[in-house]
Amino acid sequence: MPHGDAQGTLVPVTRLHDADRRDFASDNYAGTHPEILVAVAEANGGHQTAYGEDVYTAHLQSVVQQHFGPTATVFPVFNGTGANVLSLQSLLPRWGAVICAETAHIHTDEGGAPERVGALKLLTVPTPDGKLTPDLVATQAWGFGDEHRAQPGVVSITQSTELGTLYTPDEIRALADQAHALGLRLHLDGARISNAAAALGLPLRAFTTDVGVDVVSLGGTKNGLLFGEAVVVLTPGSDGGLTYLRKLDMQLSSKMRFVSAQLIALYEGDLWLRSAAHANAMASRLRRGIEHLPGVHVTRPTEANGVFVVFPTGVADSLRRRWRFYDWDVATGEVRLMCSFDTTEADVDELVAAVEAAVS
């Protein structure tokens, strides 16, 4: 139960944090969107069959098909790492390998899970902007039939990329055509797929189903969910035993209705697009506010909800007294500033003002 403070304001006794604080380290720092919390509460009460045989998970199928087409099949999971590992496992034999960018999340930020849990090999490619091209893929798409080399079976891309850049539909189509001609499949890590769609002004299927992507890791947590992502199979016959792999990899939720209810709330209407478009807009506002300041060097395009920047010596440490953000490249001093669905104009303006004061 809440209690009253000195001013008579009701304060929840279980709250241990400052609910007004916002950081720029990651969109994972944000809380849960209020509309998602309502959806979870509405899904509560009474009994529903466990392990996905509930009305929410059944309805989620139709919601996902509205975005990705009538043959799409969705498998809700707990988190993004699980979605990626399951997607890749389902597309590969035991001796298979994945071609991905050197900066890909599956390579840099998943603790080796694709290799340790998924038992697959990552074949990484250096890229200037986080994006693969057919020419770059070709540097690792070789050795077919060579028993001494893990066999390339999947090309994995991220949309938007870890460097905040975006693939156009034509760029993804070129990768899909190359992959399929070689007998490979194309996986898209869509942890920030909503940010990409908002930035491109395109429906989700325009750069997935319609251009040859086989499987998508559908993001939710970075765009306002309490927890939960999904594997979406776009090409019929590409499920690769996901029914069994999901349990094997500890991603089968017994009370799946609460994952599915969140995804329904996010994707059935326009919440996914509203939230992502707002985060993108806040990143653009942040870039505009700091890029002209003396000594400040914005290092990469701001195409989604991230700003990459090198500050003058000492400025980042000064800002860190108030905000959390990530060092992206310690050698160059590059840091990453991420905006979220709940980042406000006032939050951005406060940071901009602090940067301006620090550099002056």
* Three-point CA angle 196, 75, 192, nearest 5°: 15
pLDDT per residue over 99-124, tens digit each? 999 999 999 999 999 999 999 999 99
pLDDT per residue over 17-64, tens digit each? 999 999 999 999 999 999 999 999 999 999 999 999 999 999 999 999
- Check: CB of residue 208 under 8 Å from CB of residue 234: yes
Give 238's pLDDT tier (boundaries 50, 70, 90). Answer: confident
Tell which of 217, 245, 267 closes a domain: 267
13 and 135 both lie in a single domain: no
CATH number at residue 293: 3.90.1150.10
pLDDT per residue over 124-177, tens digit each? 999 999 999 999 999 999 999 999 999 999 999 999 999 999 999 999 999 999
41 and 180 both lie in a single domain: yes
pLDDT at 231 exceeding the cut of 80 = yes
pLDDT at 9 exceeding the cut of 70 = no
Give 11's pLDDT tier (boundaries 50, 70, 90). Answer: low
355 and 258 both lie in a single domain: no
| pLDDT at position 2 | 58
pLDDT at 4 exceeding the cut of 70 = no
* pTM attached to this predicted model: 0.94
122 and 205 both lie in a single domain: yes
pLDDT at 6 exceeding the cut of 80 = no
15 and 102 both lie in a single domain: no
- Check: CB of residue 172 under 8 Å from CB of residue 161: no
| CB neighbour list of residue 182: distance below 8 Å, 6 or more residues apart | 141, 144, 152
102 and 128 both lie in a single domain: yes
pLDDT at 5 exceeding the cut of 60 = no
Neighbour count for residue 206 (Cβ, 10 Å) = 15
| pLDDT at position 239 | 78
202 and 238 both lie in a single domain: yes
104 and 56 both lie in a single domain: yes
Q: State the DSSP string of 289-341.
A: HHTTSTT-EE-S---SSEEEEEPPTTHHHHHTTT---EEEETTTTEEEEE--T
| pLDDT at position 7 | 61
Angle between helix axes 55-68 and 257-267 (nearest 10 degrees) is 30
Q: Which amino acid is at 234?
A: L
pLDDT at 12 exceeding the cut of 90 = no
pLDDT per residue over 249-292, tens digit each? 999 999 999 999 999 999 999 999 999 999 999 999 999 999 99
- Give kind and range of the element (H or E) at residue 124: strand 121-125
pLDDT per residue over 280-323, tens digit each? 999 999 999 999 999 999 999 999 999 999 999 999 999 999 99
239 and 94 both lie in a single domain: yes
CATH number at residue 108: 3.40.640.10
Tell which of 233, 250, 267 closes a domain: 267
Angle between helix axes 345-359 and 271-290 (nearest 10 degrees) is 20
How confident is the prediction for the chain on average, in pLDDT? 96
Q: 238 is in which domain, residue-wise?
A: 34-267
